Structure 1
Protein backbone atom coordinates (compact mmCIF):
# COMPACT_ATOMS: atom_id res chain seq x y z
CA UNK A 1 0.00 0.00 0.00
CA UNK A 2 1.36 3.42 -0.98
CA UNK A 3 2.14 5.98 1.66
CA UNK A 4 -0.66 8.45 2.33
CA UNK A 5 0.26 11.94 1.19
CA UNK A 6 0.54 14.42 4.01
CA UNK A 7 -0.45 17.44 1.95
CA UNK A 8 -3.47 18.74 0.06
CA UNK A 9 -2.76 18.60 -3.66
CA UNK A 10 -5.15 21.47 -4.39
CA UNK A 11 -3.38 23.74 -1.92
CA UNK A 12 0.01 22.75 -3.30
CA UNK A 13 -1.14 23.41 -6.85
CA UNK A 14 -2.39 26.86 -5.85
CA UNK A 15 0.99 27.67 -4.33
CA UNK A 16 2.83 26.43 -7.42
CA UNK A 17 0.56 28.52 -9.64
CA UNK A 18 1.52 31.66 -7.73
CA UNK A 19 5.23 30.96 -8.17
CA UNK A 20 4.92 30.26 -11.88
CA UNK A 21 2.78 33.37 -12.33
CA UNK A 22 5.41 35.48 -10.62
CA UNK A 23 8.56 34.00 -12.15
CA UNK A 24 7.45 32.28 -15.32
CA UNK A 25 8.27 28.70 -16.22
CA UNK A 26 11.94 29.28 -16.97
CA UNK A 27 12.56 31.48 -13.94
CA UNK A 28 11.01 29.03 -11.48
CA UNK A 29 13.33 26.48 -9.90
CA UNK A 30 12.31 23.34 -8.07
CA UNK A 31 13.73 24.98 -4.97
CA UNK A 32 11.23 27.83 -5.47
CA UNK A 33 8.45 25.30 -5.73
CA UNK A 34 9.44 23.28 -2.68
CA UNK A 35 9.80 26.48 -0.66
CA UNK A 36 6.40 27.83 -1.72
CA UNK A 37 4.51 24.55 -1.42
CA UNK A 38 6.36 23.30 1.67
CA UNK A 39 6.58 19.92 0.00
CA UNK A 40 9.90 18.20 -0.60
CA UNK A 41 10.99 17.39 -4.13
CA UNK A 42 10.11 13.65 -3.90
CA UNK A 43 6.59 14.54 -2.82
CA UNK A 44 6.11 16.94 -5.71
CA UNK A 45 7.48 14.43 -8.18
CA UNK A 46 5.18 11.74 -6.81
CA UNK A 47 2.06 13.90 -6.96
CA UNK A 48 2.63 15.92 -10.12
CA UNK A 49 5.61 14.59 -12.05
CA UNK A 50 8.34 16.92 -13.27
CA UNK A 51 8.31 20.74 -13.40
CA UNK A 52 6.79 20.76 -16.88
CA UNK A 53 3.90 18.55 -15.79
CA UNK A 54 3.32 20.70 -12.71
CA UNK A 55 3.29 23.85 -14.84
CA UNK A 56 0.71 22.36 -17.19
CA UNK A 57 -1.54 21.53 -14.23
CA UNK A 58 -1.04 25.03 -12.85
CA UNK A 59 -1.88 26.51 -16.25
CA UNK A 60 -5.10 24.48 -16.46
CA UNK A 61 -6.02 25.73 -12.99
CA UNK A 62 -5.22 29.31 -13.97
CA UNK A 63 -7.42 29.12 -17.05
CA UNK A 64 -10.29 27.56 -15.10
CA UNK A 65 -10.10 30.03 -12.23
CA UNK A 66 -9.12 33.30 -13.90
CA UNK A 67 -9.76 33.07 -17.65
CA UNK A 68 -13.46 32.24 -17.83
CA UNK A 69 -14.12 35.76 -19.08
CA UNK A 70 -12.67 34.67 -22.43
CA UNK A 71 -15.48 32.19 -23.13
CA UNK A 72 -18.06 34.54 -21.61
CA UNK A 73 -16.86 37.31 -23.94
CA UNK A 74 -17.72 35.25 -27.01
CA UNK A 75 -21.36 35.26 -25.86
CA UNK A 76 -21.56 39.07 -25.76
CA UNK A 77 -24.20 40.54 -28.11
CA UNK A 78 -21.88 42.72 -30.22
CA UNK A 79 -18.32 42.45 -31.42
CA UNK A 80 -17.44 45.63 -29.57
CA UNK A 81 -18.66 44.13 -26.31
CA UNK A 82 -16.74 40.94 -27.09
CA UNK A 83 -13.55 42.97 -27.37
CA UNK A 84 -14.33 45.06 -24.29
CA UNK A 85 -14.98 41.97 -22.17
CA UNK A 86 -11.77 40.29 -23.31
CA UNK A 87 -9.51 43.30 -22.75
CA UNK A 88 -11.08 44.54 -19.52
CA UNK A 89 -11.17 41.00 -18.13
CA UNK A 90 -7.51 40.53 -19.03
CA UNK A 91 -6.45 43.79 -17.37
CA UNK A 92 -8.37 42.88 -14.21
CA UNK A 93 -6.34 39.67 -13.93
CA UNK A 94 -3.04 41.26 -14.96
CA UNK A 95 -3.37 43.81 -12.14
CA UNK A 96 -5.12 41.58 -9.61
CA UNK A 97 -5.02 42.98 -6.08
CA UNK A 98 -3.13 46.01 -7.34
CA UNK A 99 -0.07 43.94 -8.22
CA UNK A 100 1.96 43.93 -11.44
CA UNK A 101 1.15 40.32 -12.23
CA UNK A 102 0.86 40.16 -15.98
CA UNK A 103 -0.47 36.94 -17.49
CA UNK A 104 0.70 33.46 -16.51
CA UNK A 105 0.70 32.33 -20.13
CA UNK A 106 2.77 35.28 -21.36
CA UNK A 107 5.10 35.23 -18.35
CA UNK A 108 5.61 31.53 -18.92
CA UNK A 109 6.42 31.87 -22.62
CA UNK A 110 9.03 34.61 -22.36
CA UNK A 111 12.74 33.82 -22.19
CA UNK A 112 12.34 30.08 -22.65
CA UNK A 113 15.52 28.17 -23.47
CA UNK A 114 15.64 24.84 -25.26
CA UNK A 115 14.64 23.10 -22.04
CA UNK A 116 11.39 25.07 -22.01
CA UNK A 117 10.59 24.70 -25.70
CA UNK A 118 7.76 22.23 -25.14
CA UNK A 119 6.07 24.58 -22.68
CA UNK A 120 6.54 27.52 -25.01
CA UNK A 121 4.91 25.58 -27.85
CA UNK A 122 2.05 24.58 -25.56
CA UNK A 123 1.41 28.21 -24.65
CA UNK A 124 1.59 29.28 -28.29
CA UNK A 125 -0.94 26.59 -29.22
CA UNK A 126 -3.34 27.73 -26.50
CA UNK A 127 -3.09 31.34 -27.63
CA UNK A 128 -3.76 30.29 -31.23
CA UNK A 129 -6.89 28.45 -30.09
CA UNK A 130 -8.13 31.57 -28.32
CA UNK A 131 -7.40 33.70 -31.39
CA UNK A 132 -9.18 31.24 -33.65
CA UNK A 133 -12.28 31.28 -31.43
CA UNK A 134 -12.28 35.08 -31.52
CA UNK A 135 -11.93 35.09 -35.31
CA UNK A 136 -14.95 32.81 -35.68
CA UNK A 137 -17.02 35.05 -33.38
CA UNK A 138 -16.03 38.13 -35.38
CA UNK A 139 -16.96 36.42 -38.62
CA UNK A 140 -20.43 35.80 -37.17
CA UNK A 141 -20.61 39.49 -36.23
CA UNK A 142 -19.65 40.50 -39.76
CA UNK A 143 -22.16 38.13 -41.32
CA UNK A 144 -24.90 39.62 -39.12
CA UNK A 145 -24.06 43.20 -39.99
CA UNK A 146 -22.42 44.14 -36.70
CA UNK A 147 -19.01 44.61 -38.34
CA UNK A 148 -18.27 46.35 -41.61
CA UNK A 149 -18.53 43.95 -44.54
CA UNK A 150 -14.95 44.73 -45.48
CA UNK A 151 -13.65 43.74 -42.03
CA UNK A 152 -10.74 41.28 -42.05
CA UNK A 153 -11.75 39.13 -39.08
CA UNK A 154 -8.51 37.14 -38.98
CA UNK A 155 -6.53 40.38 -38.81
CA UNK A 156 -8.85 41.87 -36.18
CA UNK A 157 -8.58 38.77 -34.00
CA UNK A 158 -4.79 38.86 -34.33
CA UNK A 159 -4.83 42.58 -33.48
CA UNK A 160 -6.86 42.10 -30.29
CA UNK A 161 -4.73 39.19 -29.12
CA UNK A 162 -1.56 41.18 -29.84
CA UNK A 163 -2.90 44.13 -27.83
CA UNK A 164 -3.83 41.73 -25.05
CA UNK A 165 -0.37 40.16 -24.98
CA UNK A 166 1.33 43.54 -25.14
CA UNK A 167 -0.73 44.76 -22.18
CA UNK A 168 0.36 41.67 -20.25
CA UNK A 169 4.01 42.59 -20.77
CA UNK A 170 3.32 46.20 -19.82
CA UNK A 171 1.37 45.16 -16.72
CA UNK A 172 4.23 42.93 -15.59
CA UNK A 173 6.55 45.91 -16.04
CA UNK A 174 4.38 47.99 -13.70
CA UNK A 175 2.14 49.95 -16.07
CA UNK A 176 -0.91 51.13 -14.12
CA UNK A 177 -4.40 49.74 -14.56
CA UNK A 178 -5.56 53.26 -15.45
CA UNK A 179 -3.09 53.45 -18.34
CA UNK A 180 -4.06 50.01 -19.59
CA UNK A 181 -7.74 50.92 -19.47
CA UNK A 182 -6.98 54.07 -21.47
CA UNK A 183 -5.45 51.84 -24.13
CA UNK A 184 -8.62 49.74 -24.16
CA UNK A 185 -10.68 52.90 -24.67
CA UNK A 186 -8.54 53.75 -27.69
CA UNK A 187 -8.97 50.28 -29.18
CA UNK A 188 -12.73 50.47 -28.74
CA UNK A 189 -12.90 53.97 -30.21
CA UNK A 190 -11.37 52.69 -33.45
CA UNK A 191 -13.34 49.42 -33.60
CA UNK A 192 -15.00 48.97 -37.03
CA UNK A 193 -18.56 48.51 -35.85
CA UNK A 194 -21.25 49.39 -38.36
CA UNK A 195 -22.84 51.80 -35.88
CA UNK A 196 -19.64 53.63 -34.93
CA UNK A 197 -21.30 56.85 -33.84
CA UNK A 198 -23.21 55.24 -30.97
CA UNK A 199 -20.26 52.99 -30.06
CA UNK A 200 -22.38 49.85 -30.24
Structure 2
Protein backbone atom coordinates (compact mmCIF):
# COMPACT_ATOMS: atom_id res chain seq x y z
CA UNK A 1 0.00 0.00 0.00
CA UNK A 2 1.40 3.38 -1.03
CA UNK A 3 2.34 5.79 1.74
CA UNK A 4 0.32 9.04 1.78
CA UNK A 5 2.19 12.18 0.81
CA UNK A 6 3.35 14.25 3.77
CA UNK A 7 3.22 17.55 1.88
CA UNK A 8 0.69 19.70 0.06
CA UNK A 9 1.50 19.53 -3.64
CA UNK A 10 0.25 23.05 -4.43
CA UNK A 11 2.14 24.64 -1.54
CA UNK A 12 5.25 22.78 -2.58
CA UNK A 13 4.84 23.93 -6.17
CA UNK A 14 4.64 27.57 -5.01
CA UNK A 15 7.92 27.15 -3.15
CA UNK A 16 9.57 25.48 -6.13
CA UNK A 17 8.27 28.22 -8.44
CA UNK A 18 9.91 30.86 -6.29
CA UNK A 19 13.18 28.93 -6.35
CA UNK A 20 13.25 28.88 -10.15
CA UNK A 21 12.08 32.51 -10.19
CA UNK A 22 14.87 33.70 -7.89
CA UNK A 23 17.71 31.47 -9.05
CA UNK A 24 16.94 30.55 -12.64
CA UNK A 25 16.63 27.18 -14.32
CA UNK A 26 20.28 26.13 -14.29
CA UNK A 27 21.00 27.01 -10.66
CA UNK A 28 17.87 25.30 -9.34
CA UNK A 29 18.47 21.60 -8.69
CA UNK A 30 16.47 18.86 -7.04
CA UNK A 31 19.06 18.79 -4.27
CA UNK A 32 18.54 22.50 -3.69
CA UNK A 33 14.77 22.10 -3.71
CA UNK A 34 15.09 19.27 -1.19
CA UNK A 35 17.05 21.56 1.14
CA UNK A 36 14.50 24.37 0.79
CA UNK A 37 11.36 22.28 1.16
CA UNK A 38 12.46 19.34 3.29
CA UNK A 39 10.87 17.01 0.73
CA UNK A 40 13.16 14.22 -0.46
CA UNK A 41 14.42 14.02 -4.02
CA UNK A 42 12.63 10.71 -4.59
CA UNK A 43 9.30 12.17 -3.47
CA UNK A 44 9.84 15.20 -5.69
CA UNK A 45 10.62 13.01 -8.69
CA UNK A 46 7.67 10.71 -8.00
CA UNK A 47 5.34 13.71 -7.81
CA UNK A 48 6.64 15.91 -10.61
CA UNK A 49 8.94 13.75 -12.75
CA UNK A 50 12.40 14.82 -13.90
CA UNK A 51 13.61 18.40 -13.58
CA UNK A 52 12.43 19.37 -17.07
CA UNK A 53 8.93 18.07 -16.29
CA UNK A 54 8.91 19.92 -12.98
CA UNK A 55 10.00 23.12 -14.71
CA UNK A 56 7.16 22.82 -17.23
CA UNK A 57 4.70 22.36 -14.37
CA UNK A 58 6.13 25.48 -12.72
CA UNK A 59 5.84 27.52 -15.93
CA UNK A 60 2.22 26.44 -16.41
CA UNK A 61 1.42 27.30 -12.79
CA UNK A 62 3.13 30.68 -13.15
CA UNK A 63 1.16 31.40 -16.32
CA UNK A 64 -2.04 30.53 -14.48
CA UNK A 65 -1.18 32.92 -11.66
CA UNK A 66 -0.44 35.75 -14.08
CA UNK A 67 -3.63 35.02 -16.03
CA UNK A 68 -5.72 35.35 -12.87
CA UNK A 69 -4.01 38.64 -11.99
CA UNK A 70 -4.59 40.00 -15.49
CA UNK A 71 -8.27 39.04 -15.32
CA UNK A 72 -8.58 41.23 -12.23
CA UNK A 73 -6.49 44.13 -13.52
CA UNK A 74 -8.22 44.20 -16.90
CA UNK A 75 -11.76 43.45 -15.74
CA UNK A 76 -12.69 46.75 -17.40
CA UNK A 77 -10.24 46.87 -20.32
CA UNK A 78 -9.09 50.32 -21.39
CA UNK A 79 -5.95 52.40 -21.88
CA UNK A 80 -6.31 53.35 -18.21
CA UNK A 81 -6.00 49.66 -17.34
CA UNK A 82 -2.74 49.46 -19.28
CA UNK A 83 -1.45 52.60 -17.56
CA UNK A 84 -2.21 51.14 -14.12
CA UNK A 85 -0.53 47.90 -15.10
CA UNK A 86 2.74 49.57 -16.16
CA UNK A 87 2.70 51.79 -13.08
CA UNK A 88 2.27 48.72 -10.88
CA UNK A 89 5.16 46.73 -12.33
CA UNK A 90 7.56 49.60 -11.56
CA UNK A 91 6.19 50.38 -8.08
CA UNK A 92 8.40 49.93 -4.96
CA UNK A 93 8.51 46.54 -3.27
CA UNK A 94 9.87 44.99 -0.10
CA UNK A 95 12.80 42.60 -0.06
CA UNK A 96 10.62 39.49 -0.07
CA UNK A 97 8.41 40.53 -3.00
CA UNK A 98 8.96 38.02 -5.85
CA UNK A 99 8.49 40.89 -8.35
CA UNK A 100 12.08 41.84 -7.53
CA UNK A 101 13.12 38.87 -9.67
CA UNK A 102 11.49 40.25 -12.81
CA UNK A 103 9.35 37.73 -14.69
CA UNK A 104 9.96 33.99 -14.56
CA UNK A 105 8.86 33.52 -18.17
CA UNK A 106 10.97 36.37 -19.56
CA UNK A 107 13.93 35.21 -17.47
CA UNK A 108 13.53 31.79 -19.08
CA UNK A 109 13.56 33.32 -22.58
CA UNK A 110 16.96 34.89 -21.91
CA UNK A 111 18.49 32.06 -19.88
CA UNK A 112 17.76 28.97 -21.96
CA UNK A 113 19.48 29.09 -25.35
CA UNK A 114 17.59 26.18 -26.88
CA UNK A 115 14.27 25.71 -25.09
CA UNK A 116 12.26 22.60 -25.79
CA UNK A 117 9.11 22.78 -27.89
CA UNK A 118 7.05 22.42 -24.70
CA UNK A 119 8.81 25.39 -23.05
CA UNK A 120 8.36 27.43 -26.22
CA UNK A 121 4.63 26.69 -26.14
CA UNK A 122 4.41 27.92 -22.55
CA UNK A 123 6.26 31.11 -23.47
CA UNK A 124 4.04 31.70 -26.51
CA UNK A 125 0.85 31.17 -24.49
CA UNK A 126 2.16 33.52 -21.81
CA UNK A 127 2.93 36.21 -24.39
CA UNK A 128 -0.55 35.77 -25.85
CA UNK A 129 -2.09 36.52 -22.45
CA UNK A 130 -0.63 40.01 -22.52
CA UNK A 131 -1.21 40.55 -26.21
CA UNK A 132 -4.91 39.73 -25.90
CA UNK A 133 -5.53 42.03 -22.92
CA UNK A 134 -3.58 44.84 -24.56
CA UNK A 135 -5.50 44.47 -27.82
CA UNK A 136 -8.84 44.32 -26.03
CA UNK A 137 -7.97 47.41 -23.98
CA UNK A 138 -6.89 49.40 -27.05
CA UNK A 139 -9.97 48.33 -29.01
CA UNK A 140 -12.23 49.40 -26.16
CA UNK A 141 -10.90 52.94 -26.56
CA UNK A 142 -11.07 52.69 -30.36
CA UNK A 143 -7.32 53.00 -30.87
CA UNK A 144 -6.15 52.35 -34.42
CA UNK A 145 -3.92 49.35 -35.24
CA UNK A 146 -4.34 47.65 -31.84
CA UNK A 147 -2.38 44.54 -32.85
CA UNK A 148 0.72 46.52 -33.86
CA UNK A 149 0.51 48.71 -30.77
CA UNK A 150 0.04 45.67 -28.53
CA UNK A 151 3.27 44.20 -29.93
CA UNK A 152 5.05 47.46 -29.05
CA UNK A 153 3.69 47.26 -25.49
CA UNK A 154 4.90 43.67 -25.14
CA UNK A 155 8.37 44.74 -26.27
CA UNK A 156 8.38 47.52 -23.68
CA UNK A 157 7.13 45.10 -21.04
CA UNK A 158 9.84 42.54 -21.79
CA UNK A 159 12.43 45.32 -21.53
CA UNK A 160 10.99 46.46 -18.19
CA UNK A 161 11.05 42.93 -16.79
CA UNK A 162 14.66 42.49 -17.93
CA UNK A 163 15.67 45.74 -16.26
CA UNK A 164 14.00 44.64 -13.02
CA UNK A 165 15.78 41.29 -13.13
CA UNK A 166 19.18 42.92 -13.61
CA UNK A 167 18.70 45.45 -10.81
CA UNK A 168 16.54 43.21 -8.55
CA UNK A 169 14.37 46.27 -8.05
CA UNK A 170 11.01 47.04 -9.73
CA UNK A 171 11.64 50.78 -9.55
CA UNK A 172 14.51 50.34 -12.01
CA UNK A 173 11.83 50.04 -14.72
CA UNK A 174 10.27 53.38 -13.79
CA UNK A 175 11.74 55.21 -16.78
CA UNK A 176 10.32 52.60 -19.18
CA UNK A 177 6.90 52.77 -17.53
CA UNK A 178 6.92 56.57 -17.64
CA UNK A 179 7.64 56.63 -21.37
CA UNK A 180 5.02 53.95 -22.06
CA UNK A 181 2.40 56.02 -20.20
CA UNK A 182 3.37 59.09 -22.26
CA UNK A 183 3.01 57.05 -25.46
CA UNK A 184 -0.39 55.76 -24.33
CA UNK A 185 -1.54 59.31 -23.64
CA UNK A 186 -0.50 60.20 -27.18
CA UNK A 187 -2.55 57.34 -28.58
CA UNK A 188 -5.53 58.44 -26.58
CA UNK A 189 -5.30 62.06 -27.80
CA UNK A 190 -3.64 61.91 -31.22
CA UNK A 191 -2.25 65.10 -32.71
CA UNK A 192 -4.28 65.96 -35.84
CA UNK A 193 -2.26 65.77 -39.07
CA UNK A 194 -0.80 68.99 -40.38
CA UNK A 195 -2.07 70.14 -43.77
CA UNK A 196 0.27 71.94 -46.11
CA UNK A 197 -0.74 75.41 -47.17
CA UNK A 198 -0.93 75.83 -50.92
So what's the TM-score if we normalise by structure 2?
0.78
- Alignment partner, residue 88 of structure 2: 89
SS in 1 for 2:75: coil
- Alignment partner, residue 74 of structure 2: 74
Residues 1:77 and 1:103: Cα distance change in structure 2 (over 3 Å): closer
- Do the aligned partners of 2:77 and 2:133 also contact (CA within 8 Å) in 1? no
Cα deviation 1:68-89 (Å, max 9, x = unaligned): 442233333631x121132233
- Do the aligned partners of 1:25 and 1:116 also contact (CA within 8 Å) in 2? no
Aligned length: 187
Q: 2:155 aligns with which of 151, 154, 162?
A: 162
Question: After alignment, is 49-58 or 163-172 more displaced?
Answer: 49-58
- Alignment partner, residue 23 of structure 2: 23
Instruction: Measure, in 2, the Cα distance between the counterparts of 1:28 and 1:131.
Output: 30
Once the 2 structures are TM-superposed, how far is the Cα of residue 96 of structure 1 from its aligned partner?
Answer: 4.4
Alignment root-mean-square deviation, CA: 2.8
Once the 2 structures are TM-superposed, how far is the Cα of residue 174 of structure 1 from its aligned partner?
Answer: 0.5
Q: 2:180 aligns with which of 183, 187, 196?
A: 187
Q: Which has the larger radius of gyration?
A: 2
- Alignment partner, residue 37 of structure 1: 37
Instruction: Measure, in 2, the Cα distance between the counterparts of 1:4 and 1:175.
Output: 39
SS in 1 for 2:76: coil
- Do the aligned partners of 1:102 and 1:169 also contact (CA within 8 Å) in 2? yes
- Do the aligned partners of 1:19 and 1:33 also contact (CA within 8 Å) in 2? yes
Residues 1:45 and 1:168: Cα distance change in structure 2 (over 3 Å): same
Counterpart mapping for 1:133-172 below 5 A? 133-142=133-142, 147=143, 151-172=144-165
- Alignment partner, residue 119 of structure 2: 119
So what's the TM-score if we normalise by structure 1?
0.77
- Do the aligned partners of 2:78 and 2:140 also contact (CA within 8 Å) in 1? no
Residues 1:60 and 1:90: Cα distance change in structure 2 (over 3 Å): farther
- Do the aligned partners of 2:60 and 2:122 also contact (CA within 8 Å) in 1? no
Once the 2 structures are TM-superposed, how far is the Cα of residue 43 of structure 1 from its aligned partner?
Answer: 0.2
User: Is residue 6 from structure 1 mapped to residue 6 from structure 2 by the alignment?
Assistant: yes
Residues 1:17 and 1:181: Cα distance change in structure 2 (over 3 Å): same
